[in-house]
A and B are shown apart, each in its own frame.
Chain A
Amino acid sequence: MTTDEMALNTSRPDDGSFRDPDSQVVHADGRVLRRLSATGRNDWEALSCSSFFERNVAAGRLVATAHMAAEPDALGDGWAGMVEHERVPFVTYPFEWTFGMLAAGAALHLELLRDALAEGMTTKDGYAYNVQWRGVEPVFIDTSSFTPYQEGPWAGYRQFCETFLNPLMLRSFVGLDFHPWLRGSLEGIPVQDMRRLISLREVHRPGVLRHVVLHALFVRKAHGTTSSTRSALAESGFSRDVVITTVDKLLDVVRKLSWQPEPSTWTSYPTTNTYTDDDRVRKLRFVEKVVSSARPDLVWDLGCNDGTYARVAATHASQVVAMDADHATVELLYRSLRSSGVRNVLPLVIDVADPSPSLGWRNRERPALLQRPRPDLVMCLALVHHLAIVDNIPLSQVVEWLATLAEVAVVEFVDRHDPMVAQLLGNKSVVHADYSLTRFQHEIAEHFDIEAREELSAGTRTLYALRRR
């Protein structure tokens, strides 16, 4: 038995990999393997021989994948081949991405499809969940989506519209964030719903007439059709060239979609906060010292705002996942990371008081945030007062939760006399009497050892380096 076959013996099927009968992702000792049916193996052979595969893997746009030798008996019933994928640093989902990230993922999907069509292949689907991230660079992970092209339209068009295009248009043309919609359904925003959401006044905007208005009209007219539309279109000349034209036009629309975030409390926070220059430097040094001595693989920065401290952590960690609830702030962070060339910070739109739940089949298809790999180090800087005062989460629960996340925590506690906290308390009838530094220290003593502590000169902010007991 080869080492690869032994790995298969201890493998566990991925809970989100069951829809395509020709392939199944399995996890074995931290490795990501994919079992293939006879058809899936033929598709893989066609893909691996193509020049676009090699080119896009080299460019980091397609997940690195290698053939693995395994006897059919070791693969299991019905499986005929196996490949191994490179691991992506942290799995995320479209309802956690910013507008710019979803647009970049959409463009990547279409560009790869365009490359595939040029070499006689296509993709079976057009799903936003085919994309993952290495920092701020999107990577297409579903190699089994590629299959030799057969005459007829692209099978993934509806899914592309529902999981990529409609959410982008919702932000761009309707002014609504797409996150609750994508979190509400793994199928995205249905064509008919998008038609109702968008005003006909927007019909002149890129793509609205064709991809929303006419698309919805055809879907309504074709409802209940029993004949094989695909065969009829293929026999009437719906060739690869027509699909290429369709994809080019779709790509043109995606590239034209834009969103300019309006200034919010959080986008202007870096200029309106109350830190002195000296405190800012001391805080940066404190964070850098803790992270550099811990040398973590994965860091979570909760409430990251403009990512100042995530960037510092990124110089000493393999990967930093920077989370903030404010879409505009995270979008600006994404753009800034891309333009500054920081490659190991992944920005995500996540409200830690209401984190991503488990979704899909058996509630296991897309695991909740807290069911994904935990960080080695968590940063929670100037966030505890928001959780305690805005979200009314008891201080004891906040600290207990931090202790479940990581071995090492860097926490900044802001006491009730700080102007920012006073502002939060201003309109609240609940007095939050238990919100105090003394109480906070009592709670952390329950779960952590304090390795370092530093009070900033303003006198209302204290930094802690904590190690879980």
Chain B
Amino acid sequence: MVLAYIDPGSGSMIAQLAVAGAAGVAVAVKVAWRKTAGRIRGRDGHAADEVADDC
């Protein structure tokens, strides 16, 4: 995906979750859940990157 010719910065993208309030919290919870689920699946022998395809 080519959208930004500048580097938006990972930290600055995540920081927008804090700016967005409740809507940002919902996204943050989902990111955390996907990360946790990815780890569990990884332990169960699934490749972590399969999580993205499942979603």
Q: Does A184 touch B at the CB level, under 8 Å?
A: no
Q: Other CB < 8 Å A-B pairs besides A125-B4, A231-B1, A232-B34, 17 of them?
A: A124-B3, A152-B3, A158-B8, A158-B12, A211-B19, A214-B18, A231-B52, A233-B17, A235-B34, A235-B52, A236-B27, A238-B16, A242-B23, A245-B21, A245-B23, A246-B19, A250-B19
Within the complex, which residue of B6, B18, B27, B34 is in contact with A155, where a contact is CB–CB below 8 Å?
Answer: B6
Enumerate B10-41 residues with CB–CB distance to A below 8 Å.
10-21, 23-24, 26-27, 30-31, 34
How distant is B48 from chain A, measured CB to nearest CB, in Å?
10
Contact partners of A153 in chain B: CB under 8 A: 8, 13, 16
The reply to whether B12 and A242 form a contact with Cβ atoms under 8 Å apart is no
Nearest Cβ on chain B to A209's Cβ, whole angstroms: 8
Instruction: Give Cα A236 to B23, complex, Å.
Output: 11
Q: Is the CB of B11 within 8 A of A215?
A: yes
- The answer to whether residues A237 and B19 also contact, given A158-B8, A219-B12, A231-B52 and a CB cut-off of 8 A, is no
Interface residues of A in 272-288 (CB under 8 A from B): none
A157:B34 contact, CB within 8 angstroms? no
Interface string of A228-272 (1 = CB under 8 A from B): 011111011110011101100110000000000000000000000
* Least CB separation from B1: chain A residue: A150
The 5 closest A-B pairs by CB, nearest first: A219-B11, A158-B12, A222-B11, A155-B4, A236-B30
Decide yes or no whether A55 CB sits under 8 A from chain B. Answer: no
Chain B residues positioned under 8 Å from A221 (CB to CB): 11, 14
Task: Determine if A451 is an interface residue (Cβ-Cβ < 8 Å).
Answer: no
- List residues of chain A with CB within 8 A of the CB of B12: 157-158, 161, 191, 215, 218-219
Residues of A within 8 A of B52 (CB): 231, 235
Indicate if the CB atoms of B30 and A237 lie closer than 8 Å.
yes
Q: Which residue of A lies closest to B16 (CB)?
A: A153
Interface of A is mostly: helix
Which label, helix, strand, loop or mixed, suits the secondary structure of the B interface?
helix
* Residue B45, interface by CB 8 Å: no
A150 touches B3 (CB 8 A): yes
Chain A residues within an 8 Å CB radius of B14: 218, 221-222, 229, 233
For residue B11, which residues in chain A have a CB less than 8 angstroms away from its CB?
Answer: 191, 215, 218-223, 225
Q: How far is the CB of B29 from chain A (nearest CB, A)?
A: 9
Q: Chain B residues with Cβ under 8 A from A154's Cβ?
A: 8, 16
A210 touching B10 in the complex, CB below 8 Å, given contacts A233-B27, A235-B55, A237-B30: no
Determine whether A20 belongs to the interface, using a CB cutoff of 8 Å to chain B.
Answer: yes
Binary contact readout A118-135 vs B (1 if CB under 8 angstroms, 0 otherwise): 000000110000000000
* Contact between chains at A225 and B30 (CB < 8 Å): no
Complex: A223 Cα to B15 Cα, angstroms: 13
Q: Which residues of B are found within 8 Å of A238, using beta-carbon distances? A: 16-17, 27
Contact, CB under 8 Å: B8 / A155: yes
In the bound complex, what is the Cα–Cα distance between A218 and B11 (angstroms)?
5
Asked if A124 and B5 sit within 8 Å, CB to CB, the answer is yes
Q: Which residues of B contact A218 (CB under 8 A)?
A: 11-12, 14-15, 18
CB distance from B8 to the nearest CB of A (A): 4
CB closest chain-B residue, reference A22: B5
Write out the residue numbers on chain A whose beta carbons fall within 8 Å of the beta carbon of B31. 232-233, 236
B4 close to A233 (CB less than 8 A) = no
How near does chain A come to B16, taking the closest CB pair, in angstroms?
A: 4
